[in-house]
């Protein structure tokens, strides 16, 4: 596609900044004229002249002595890149380049593209700390060289006076032996120029931006999650170093080595992530917790799961979900629809897997109850979720905050590189995990736990066994059925520092409403291989 002539067909209007939110300057390395940066020409599809480096930069095992800074969001080797519509990596030609955000930038309308090579001590120290922090196998790394390229408040080709702008940065780092690239995303609000099918008002739609690495052949490449999709406009919320908007990679090896994860077939997998290789989901793989290593073994999807492609990779997806609800003073409605009422004021296990299953993450959801005025009635106080090694508490009356590993955090919160998200959802706080767990709590008297069918016939706690059979929901840890709600609640009592709490009416059940004492329970049902009691 050929762009329309800027002189004969289209009058370009100067674009003013329409900010979506506060720019996170903290994530960006210092840039701009105050830092003696150079600038690329203010023109459509322009680039810097060839820039010879103080030391060769090694990229996919190949040393490069010079670079070009291209307006369209690319640092290239050997040749300029003026192409304005991005393509998915790998490319079939020989161009080798790094793309923090390859899209149709027009800094002649709005914005600046800065660059500088730096050996300033404060920059080198900051770069050294960033590498050491996220590559634990390099505790003595000390940077001796950096190159910083920044696209600041740049808009897209075909914009107008209300056009959004983007700010992003690429920092190259080396100690002379190891080489790294860091992507910093400060503010991303558009993804596409009009010549690539983007909307002239929003810069969205069409052929969206590509982020990642292209090595010049079909076997050396890496794509950041969301590239060439509508999700790329949210790339500032993603990360591989638990800092939204930042990605760090080692570039001098045969394949791109992402911090805190693995790369396979040009994709990023976080540590511990499970995925499948084929459209039959017959080989299950896992990114190991140490190093950029993937291990695979023959395995099939589990019960109530189907093999589906998701974001270019194959996963075993659950076919349905079920929800347990705790509400009121309080009432318990299990995954299978069993309803009962329990007035304990201690901490109780609501749900967790009964036994470990390969490839299925473990978790637990606990509730702490309290009296509110009447000693015979209790209400929810806190909901605590343990997942991926973190303990997250959703407290009563929470206004935009949660407790994570003992520290208060302001929402939204991301853990494990986005595998766990905690955010405000209407009047409730929601915790969502990448394997399908969803927990909500309104901070007063209503909580819900939704689980995918991957956990079918494998849940323990007051929410019962998710197996479509309410008859075995009032089961105790030893596999027997409780005869009263007090016995049921006491069976799932967990550690609680509140020494005054009780499991309902305690030893004086005659004072309780009969519905709070007695459960009419059907016959005991267990898995065929668990006749001697449920494993917990």
Mean pLDDT by 10 residues, the chain (536 residues): 39 28 69 97 97 98 98 98 97 96 97 98 98 95 99 94 93 98 97 98 98 96 95 94 95 96 93 86 87 86 86 85 93 95 92 90 94 76 96 90 94 89 93 95 94 95 96 94 92 89 62 45 35 37
Specify whether 113 is located in the same domain as 71.
yes
Flag whether 328 is in a domain.
Answer: yes
User: Do 200 and 194 touch, CB atoms closer than 8 A?
Assistant: yes
- Is 480 exposed, middle or buried, given 0-12, 13-18 or 19+ CB atoms closer than 10 A? middle
Instruction: Round to whole Å and give the CA distance between 461 and 92.
Output: 55
Flag whether 255 is in a domain.
Answer: no
- Residue 511 CB coordination number (10 Å): 11
Strands of 13-50 (E only): list them.
Answer: 38-39
Instruction: Round to whole Å and give the CA distance between 16 and 169.
Output: 21
Specify whether 337 is located in the same domain as 436.
yes
Instruction: Round to whole Å and give the CA distance between 252 and 37.
Output: 26
Identify the domain boundary among 222, 241, 260: 241
Specify whether 312 is located in the same domain as 339.
no
Q: Which of 176, 175, 180 is nearest to 252 (CA)?
A: 180
Specify whether 353 is located in the same domain as 490.
yes
- Residue 370 CB coordination number (10 Å): 14
Specify whether 297 is located in the same domain as 410.
no
Query: What CA–CA distances, in Å, run from 461 to 203, 235, 430, 519?
Result: 49, 38, 20, 16
Identify the domain boundary among 302, 318, 334: 318
Instruction: Round to whole Å and give the CA distance between 386 and 520.
Output: 32
User: Do 18 and 165 touch, CB atoms closer than 8 A?
Assistant: yes
The tokens for 493 are 């009592």
Instruction: Round to whole Å and give the CA distance between 85 and 194.
Output: 10
R_g (Cα) of the chain, nearest Å: 28
Query: What CA–CA distances, in Å, run from 22 to 19, 151, 167?
Result: 7, 17, 12
Specify whether 382 is located in the same domain as 439.
yes
Q: Which residues of 176-193 are buried (b: 16+ CB within 10 A; e: fewer)?
A: eebbbbbbbbbbbbbbbb
Instruction: Round to whole Å and give the CA distance between 144 and 125.
Output: 9
Specify whether 295 is located in the same domain as 439.
no
Specify whether 311 is located in the same domain as 431.
no
Instruction: Round to whole Å and give the CA distance between 129 and 143.
Output: 9
Flag whether 134 is in a domain.
Answer: yes
Cis peptide bond prior to 252, omega within 30° of 0: no
3-state helix, strand, coil in the chain (%, to 5): 10, 40, 50
For the chain, how many structural domains are there in total? Answer: 3
Instruction: Round to whole Å and give the CA distance between 379 and 467.
Output: 27
**pLDDT at residue 131, rounded to an integer:** 98
Flag whether 169 is in a domain.
Answer: no
Instruction: Round to whole Å and give the CA distance between 148 and 534.
Output: 58
User: Do 281 and 271 touch, CB atoms closer than 8 A?
Assistant: no
Query: What CA–CA distances, in Å, run from 44 to 47, 192, 235?
Result: 9, 14, 24
The helix or strand, by DSSP H or E, that contains position 131, with its residue range, turns out to be: helix 121-134
The tokens for 480 are 């027997």
Flag whether 42 is in a domain.
Answer: yes
**pLDDT at residue 528, rounded to an integer:** 33
Cis peptide bond prior to 90, omega within 30° of 0: yes
Instruction: Round to whole Å and give the CA distance between 86 and 237.
Output: 21
Flag whether 246 is in a domain.
Answer: no
Flag whether 3 is in a domain.
Answer: no
Specify whether 306 is located in the same domain as 339.
no
Pairing of strands 274-276, 283-287: antiparallel
**pLDDT at residue 333, rounded to an integer:** 96
Phi-psi region of 162 (alpha: psi -120 to 50; beta: other; left: phi over 0): alpha
Flag whether 335 is in a domain.
Answer: yes
The DSSP bridge partners found for residue 69 are 75
pTM: 0.77
The tokens for 177 are 């032996």
Count the residues in the chain: 536
Identify the domain boundary among 287, 318, 349: 318
Specify whether 291 is located in the same domain as 362.
no
Domain assignment of residue 309, given as a range? 270-318
Specify whether 407 is located in the same domain as 365.
yes
Query: What CA–CA distances, in Å, run from 275 to 130, 172, 281, 481?
Result: 29, 31, 8, 37
Specify whether 284 is located in the same domain as 202.
no
CA 534 to chain centre: 34
The helix or strand, by DSSP H or E, that contains position 221, with its residue range, turns out to be: strand 221-223
The tokens for 15 are 């674009």
Query: What CA–CA distances, in Å, run from 23 to 27, 224, 236, 246?
Result: 9, 22, 11, 14
Instruction: Round to whole Å and give the CA distance between 97 and 86.
Output: 12
Q: Which of 445, 519, 448, 517 is nearest to 481 (CA)?
A: 519
The tokens for 269 are 């997998």
**pLDDT at residue 1, rounded to an integer:** 47
């Amino acid at each position: 596609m050929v762009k329309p002539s800027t002189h004969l067909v289209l009058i370009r209007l100067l674009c003013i900044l329409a900010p979506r939110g506060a720019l996170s300057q903290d994530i960006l390395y210092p840039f701009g004229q105050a830092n003696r940066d150079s600038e690329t020409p203010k023109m459509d599809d322009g680039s810097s002249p060839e820039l010879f480096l103080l030391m060769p930069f090694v990229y996919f095992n190949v040393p490069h002595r010079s670079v070009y800074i291209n307006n369209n969001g690319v640092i290239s080797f050997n040749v300029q890149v003026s192409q304005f519509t991005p393509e998915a990596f790998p490319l079939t030609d020989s161009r080798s380049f790094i793309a923090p955000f390859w899209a149709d930038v027009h800094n002649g309308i709005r914005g600046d593209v800065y660059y500088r090579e730096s050996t300033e001590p404060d920059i080198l120290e900051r770069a050294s700390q960033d590498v050491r922090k996220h590559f634990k196998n390099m505790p003595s790394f000390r940077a001796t060289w950096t190159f910083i390229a920044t696209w600041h408040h740049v808009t897209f080709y075909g914009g107008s006076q209300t056009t959004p702008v983007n700010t992003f940065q690429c920092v190259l780092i080396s100690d002379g032996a190891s080489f790294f690239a860091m992507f910093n995303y400060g503010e991303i609000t558009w993804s596409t120029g009009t010549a690539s099918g983007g909307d002239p008002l929003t810069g969205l739609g069409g052929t969206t931006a590509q982020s990642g690495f292209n090595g010049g052949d079909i076997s050396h490449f890496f794509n950041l999650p969301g590239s060439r999709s509508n999700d790329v406009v949210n790339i500032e919320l993603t990360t591989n170093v638990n800092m939204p908007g930042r990605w760090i990679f080692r570039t001098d090896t045969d394949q791109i080595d992402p911090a805190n994860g693995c790369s396979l077939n040009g994709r990023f997998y976080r540590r511990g992530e499970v995925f499948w290789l084929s459209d039959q989901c017959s080989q299950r793989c896992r990114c190991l917790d140490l190093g950029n290593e993937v291990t695979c073994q023959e395995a099939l999807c589990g019960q109530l799961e189907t093999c589906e492609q998701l974001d270019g990779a194959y996963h075993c997806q659950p076919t349905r979900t079920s929800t347990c609800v705790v509400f009121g003073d309080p009432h318990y409605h299990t995954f299978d629809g069993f309803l009962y009422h329990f007035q304990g004021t201690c901490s109780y296990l609501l749900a967790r897997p009964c036994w470990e299953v390969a490839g299925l993450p473990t978790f637990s959801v606990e509730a702490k109850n309290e009296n509110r005025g009447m000693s015979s009635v209790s209400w929810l106080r806190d909901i605590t979720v343990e997942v991926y090694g973190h303990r997250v508490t959703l407290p009563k009356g929470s206004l935009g905050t949660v407790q994570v590993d003992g520290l208060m955090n302001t929402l939204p919160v991301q853990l494990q590189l986005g595998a766990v998200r905690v955010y405000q959802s209407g009047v409730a706080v929601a915790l969502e995990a990448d394997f399908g767990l969803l927990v909500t709590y309104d901070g007063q008297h209503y909580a819900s736990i939704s689980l995918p069918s991957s956990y079918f016939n494998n849940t323990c706690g007051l929410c019962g066994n998710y197996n479509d059979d309410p008859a075995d929901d009032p089961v105790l840890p030893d596999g027997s059925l409780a005869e009263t709600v007090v016995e049921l609640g006491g069976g799932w009592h967990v550690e609680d520092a509140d020494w005054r709490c009780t499991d309902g009416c305690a030893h004086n059940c005659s004072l309780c409403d009969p519905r709070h004492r007695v459960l009419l329970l059907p016959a005991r049902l267990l898995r065929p291989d668990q006749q001697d009691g449920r494993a917990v």
